[in-house]
Amino acid sequence: MLKKILSTIDAFTEHCGNAIAWLTLVMMLVMFTSVVLRYLFQIGFTALDESVIYMHSMVFMLGAAFTLKRGGHVRVDIFYNQLSAIGKARVDIIGTCFLLLPVCLFIGVVSWEYVAASWQILESSAQVGGIPAVFLLKSLILLMSALLTLQAIAELIRNGLILSGCGQAGIDSPKETIGL
* CA-closest candidate to residue 24, choices 67, 86, 70: 67
Number of domains making up the chain = 1
Beta bridge partners of 179: 77
Q: Give pLDDT tens digits for 12-57.
A: 999 999 999 999 999 999 999 999 999 999 999 999 999 999 999 9
Beta strands in 20-140 (DSSP E): 76-77
The amino acid at 68: L
What's the rounded Cα separation, in Å, for the pair 77 and 79?
Answer: 6
pTM (2 decimals)? Answer: 0.85
Residues shown for the chain: 180
Range of the domain at 103: 2-179
H/E stretch holding 117 reads helix 101-120
Q: Is 134 helix (H, G, I), strand (E, B) or coil?
A: helix
Phi, psi dihedrals of residue 173, rounded to the nearest 5° = -100, 150
- Report pLDDT digits (tens) over 75-133: 777 888 888 999 999 999 999 999 999 999 999 999 999 999 999 999 999 999 999 99
